Amino acid sequence: MPEGPEIRRARDELAGVLKGQRVNDVFFAFDALQTYQEKLTQQHIVSVESRGKAMLIHFDNAYTIYSHNQLYGRWYIAPDKKTPDITRQLRLAIYVDNAAAFLYSASDIRVLQTHELSVYPYLAKLGLELLSPDTNESMVFDHLMAHRRSRRCLMTLLQDQSVLSGMGNYLCCEVLHAAGLHPETRPCDLDDEQLTQLAHHCLYLTIQSYETGGVTNSLTRAEEMKEQGVEFDNYRFQVYRREGQVCYRCGGVVVKGKFCGRMGYCCLSCQV
């Protein structure tokens, strides 16, 4: 599933072609949404926003298209307005003068009046937005501190969108490795220094992933591996999808397993 950094990068691309543009045509695959095609056509898009893993496209007539990519959804930009030659199911298309934006495979799409967004269930429950320019490390620490007595393991707590918005499975695995914490560690097991380090890595690895297109490995190491001809998927992570390989930090072996019911990756030698 795309996580906060991937949705924010998709938002940047969409905003680059849609913001300020008049919509020439809109297509919805779902019958329940087709009544909105006429309402949105010839309207201007005033902004494109991401919140957590949701995309919001705001129109000047006070309507907003809400979408959540879930597991398989993906946005495509087509400067030539031609649909990509792929086998995915087209769910939404927005056509402007010089481009088109296509959303494939997503099943959670709504058209809402903009004033309704604050009470829409997914958006209303979102916790601190890690990629907000207003978010700082002390705010992340405070949000984690609010769960200090929790007996939920970090593997599930960090992926709870009502706690920290935008973090999913790969970011959770990478953050826990960077902080040296086992996925089944609980907030009530942490001292202040461990909580401080966890807050730091939650924020800055999420930002790094956004800025680099998904790299959560050491940037120096990743650049060296890239120069050696290593493919992107093989240098981007510290532990995620590296089952059976050597841990960069301690030389142990990266394992894959279920932790508190969620599949993940960690090094049992240096994550305690």
Active site members: 2-3, 53, 262
183: Cβ–Cβ under 8 A, 6 or more apart, which residues?
Answer: 153, 154, 155, 172, 173, 176, 259, 260, 262, 264, 266, 271
Q: Counting beta carbons within 10 angstroms of the beta carbon of residue 175, is it exposed (0 to 12), middle (13 to 18) or buried (19 or more)?
A: buried
Side chain identity at residue 231, one-letter code? E
